[in-house]
Chains A and B, each alone.
Chain A
Amino acid sequence: MSASEAASVTVSARHFDGRSARAHSVCLRFSATGVVVEGEAGEWPLPAGEFSVSEALGATPRSLTLADGQSFEVGDVAALARGLRLLGRREAAVTRWQQSWRGVGAALAATVLLVLVAYQWGLPALSRGLAAAAPAALSEHLAQQTLAFLDRGLTRPSRLPEARQAALRAKAQQWFPPAAGGPAWRLQFRASALGPNALALPNGEIVLFDALVELAEGDEQVLAVVAHELGHVAARHGLRQLIQSSLVGFIAGAYLGDVSVLVSGLAAALLEAGYSRDFEREADAYAVARLRALGQPPQLLATMLQRLETAHAAAAGEVAEEAAGDTASDRQTGWGGLASHPETAERIARILADR
């Protein structure tokens, strides 16, 4: 910076008196002692402490504003920056950051990294903590609501013989006694047009659809599914899904909401699907561990997954139009829906490899 440049800087500006929209062309002469306005009507000083300057934002025009509403609009922001430097005014740190390409590159990298870390670990950890701290009454309330919702049309009372239900309950009691360290649970049976499925509610209620029991070859396979659902209950996946999907929805809305509700909704759905896959894997691993502790082969669960996949593929054509009619069911079955996930082959491979 040369000595002559440091003495004074003159910037052309448009002066508005704040009382009318009339513009007056003036020059602002910056020096170390202050600012002098040079206009048609003569010169007058602008003491350094008495005006505020709008933030530098790229090449956008900036304004010097006085407390009484007068303002000076400056188009040549580079000259203004030099003038302000003469006065000893420094730009705020954030403003300088926005101006530096290197800083912007670092911000981009940090943002991408932070978002990935928050999605992969931060949000799941937060929801785990919140779900663990949630009162049992909340789980009870949510479970009752879901069950009531199902019973309003999606499910009907089970058509399985009482004896079969009782036998399954007794065997489940034997395999997964409440005292064995797992979560408290209760088996419910329902008939449903949604096909073979099972779901776990946050309070430990496990709902088995008749079609799933009929699909199984023997009680052991049904109990393998119960073990999987117990995994959801043990890790409080119901509550966690609720917390994570609300947070993801809120964040996607804040980020993309002004673009389009459709785009932000799609983004949220995609991100939630990722979490739901993680929950399924976690529940599979839990089921494998419980089965192994009982001396039962994990193949029970793998076989059942395969049968569910086949059954749903066969039924897909028939129920397509019905499913399209009630989108609300997706969210509910997502809580424990077994075969509602396309990556069944990968899950089966994982279960069988886990030995």
Chain B
Amino acid sequence: MSMQVKEEGGGRFGPLHTLITVWALAGGALIALVVVVNVLSVAGSALWRPFPGDFEITEMGVAVAASMFLPYCQLNHCNVTADIFTAGLPPRWVAALSALASLVALGFSLLLLTRMYAGMLDQKAYSYTTAILQLPHWMAYAVFLVSLFLLAIAAVMTFLGNVRDARA
């Protein structure tokens, strides 16, 4: 699982690798921000009155941050697999199966990217907002789109890595 982080594609992909890691760190910073909002709300609630927007900021912030983690996950093979059935296969076969998985990730990220773009237009057209702070939801969708674009790039990178391993 998350413990076994294997570095993928240095060299040629170095800058992309860095970009995806920085994007994940930015997501982590967003979680930290949500933490701070909640702590302030707890303190405010104890001392004076609760901060009514904490609920919405938490929902939106965590959702956006989770999307920002997806490319990092793909690149570092955090997504769980059941390895037992293929443990006996030669490494080349395993790499070929992993290449298939990378293709599914690529197809899914591109599909979801186009669909969520349509979703973002809906959110804008109907002006969906949160209840209290009236934050527009389409802004969260916009970050999702960037995350999905990076997920597609990460899937291409892992795919090329798998192909290389399958040929080795």
Asked if chains A and B come from one complex, the reply is no
User: A-side interface residues toward B, CB under 8 Å?
Assistant: none
